[in-house]
Structure 1
């Protein structure tokens, strides 16, 4: 009897693993990119659940009226595949569209492999440090190849590195595991350009401690990467309680190698 129970449990585990395989998540991310690039009717996005929740810049909305229903040229993209949480993250740089964007999208899946939730931070002209041309130029120069299995950091180490960076905004005593080199891409502004082998990720002191809330994670151990959706307080003078933001990290050997920030403003340039 015990053998039968174990066999059944093993079958459930195998099915769960198969439901969130890298291959499945990769195809879903590719389908999302095809939809965004062509501006297809979302009905053509076969991976969507019937009751999918769509949120754009923290505002729930009709998926047929969001940026996903527009044709956006995908000049460059990268995706994280989280087989533990059954989620994906995709960064899109669109510099050559008539309407340039940088889009960060998080998708969550049900056991039947259907997408139940799509959350996007959609930045364009007037958002923090926005420059899609600069973003495209610098992101293409970075190396995000898979990390050899023997050299991969654990999920906990990758998550802790990203959390430490955000925590340090509220407590300067928090030790952030910056690598050397480390470069930060903030909108279209890049800190590693003139000093490519230095740590240029260190943030200056904020005028007041910041608590970064509503953190939502997608972690990919193969790429050594985590994206954290969050609310960024202080940055927008008209909405100090927080604006939609995400921070994408590449971690190598326990140290942060790259940081990408995508932040949406209420006031143009966040009132600064």
Structure 2
């Protein structure tokens, strides 16, 4: 599909999710909804995030025409239950019109008690960053292959600390509401210490946006949650900004089934 079609679908979805909205959400006949890695048979049931009306304060959207997919980072800090969400949308062309219909919606919905959650801090730091489109003529533009490779390198290193990751300097990581850029804005590198054990990050679902120099990856995080058994993971996602082949920003959203420390922690 095309970038304008994806933009229209993303705008429609955000309008639908907004407080007091009367927007119609165009769903394909085979629409499926997944919330925090769980298939939801009744997407518009009152208990789902999709049926929650929000005042949205910040969004960051990536578009991937090749996969006919978009990824939206959403901050709703002032809600009764505040949220920071990653939503991955895929579309299919309608059989009766030329419009794009929503075929899948996959969400990582974080709220109080999840890993490092602080929607107010997230909003402050997310707004301070520059994720403007990168013109094709600039050397900062990174290829699709290199964008996905940078994201994979970051996640793969969690399982093998010897693997190289193309982290730039400066680089800032926004993890929940914690921000590495506040300590050393000009020299931070986003380098990660080794985890207590090697991690195998699976179930990766990508959205790659060359115009934005960005890639989003929903994935399973095999740590933090106290109830996890071997091979299990909690819902998570990362969004990367890559400039000239080097990672400039990283956002991470991770959900725990057991809210608050020590059930959610490391």
Structure 1: distance between partners of 2:157 and 2:32: 32
Q: 1:71: how far off?
A: 0.9
In the alignment, does 2:167 pair up with 1:188? no
TM-score (norm 2): 0.91
Question: SS at 1:214's partner residue?
Answer: coil
Is 1:58 equivalent to 2:58 in the alignment?
no
Distance 2:87 2:27 in 1: 14
**Displaced runs of 4 or more, over 4 A:** 39-42
- Find the residue that maps to 1:63 and give its secondary structure: coil
Distance 1:76 1:23 in 2: 21
Q: 1:172/1:97 Cα in 2 relative to 1: closer, same or farther (>3 Å)?
A: same
Indicate conservation of the 8 Å contact 1:182/1:258, yes or no: yes
Q: Please state how far the C-alpha of 1:39 moved relative to its aligned partner.
A: 5.9
Is 1:271 equivalent to 2:264 in the alignment? Answer: yes
The C-alpha deviation readout for 1:194-226, integer Å capped at 9, x for no partner, is 211123411111111100001110010000111
Residue 40 of structure 1, CA deviation:
4.6
Q: Which of 213, 222, 225 is 1:236 aligned to?
A: 225
CA RMSD of aligned residues (A): 1.3
Greater C-alpha radius of gyration: 1
Structure 2: 5+ residue stretches without partners: 95-99
> 1:81 matched to which residue of 2?
63
Q: Return the alpha-carbon distance in structure 2 between the equivalents of residues 180 and 210 of structure 1.
A: 25
**Maintained 8 Å contact 1:40/1:70:** no
8 Å CA contact 2:115, 2:264 repeated in 1: no
Distance 2:36 2:211 in 1: 28
Which runs of 5 or more structure 1 residues have no equivalent in the other structure?
Answer: 1-19
1:99 aligned residue (67, 75, 81): 81
Higher-helix-fraction structure: 1
Aligned with residue 16 of structure 2, among 35, 39, 48? 35
Conserved 8 A contact 2:201-2:219: yes
After superposition, give the CA deviation of every residue in 1:78-111 in whole Å (9 maximum; x if it has no partner): 1001011100100101111121000100011124
Q: How many residues align?
A: 251
Query: Pairwise mapping of residues 249-264 of structure 1 onto structure 2 (< 5 A)?
Result: 249-264=240-255
Taking structure 1 as the reference length, the TM-score comes to 0.89
